Amino acid sequence: MKAVLACSLIAAVLTSGAQPAHADAIVTAQVMVEGHRPHDKNKADNVVIWLTPVNAPANKFAPDTAAPPPRLEQKNKMFHPSVLVVPVGSRVEFPNLDPVFHNVFSLFEGK
């Protein structure tokens, strides 16, 4: 369980696109889940781990302005993705892709 959880979390961080990779690295971790545990013991959905290099200030990282902004879409009356990692200072898009207005929405391109 712990190995699957650690691999899932590391994969989520490395593929999140939140920060550009500055160097190749291998991360080995052991994760302990406290509190509410997932029903499927081999699943680690909706979890984020933020890695900061040793001896680096936490505020050193800035959003990648060349990358498209993160999007939290409302589609089929649900948010997609259910978890979105957004670095401080990033611009985020919240498009409503449903044909109706919701009680939580933004006017994305006038829609």
Structure-token pair, residue 101: 């207005």
- For residue 78, the surrounding DSSP H or E stretch is strand 78-80
Q: What pLDDT is stored for residue 5 in this prediction?
A: 46
Q: Is the pTM of this model over 0.85?
A: no
The pLDDT of residue 29 is above 60: yes
Short-list 58, 53, 49, CA closest to 15: 49
Question: Are the C-beta atoms of 6 and 29 separated by less than 8 Å?
Answer: yes
- The reported pLDDT for the residue numbered 58 is 61
**Interval 32-67: pLDDT, tens:** 777 776 667 666 677 777 777 777 766 666 667 788
Residue 74, SS3 per DSSP: strand
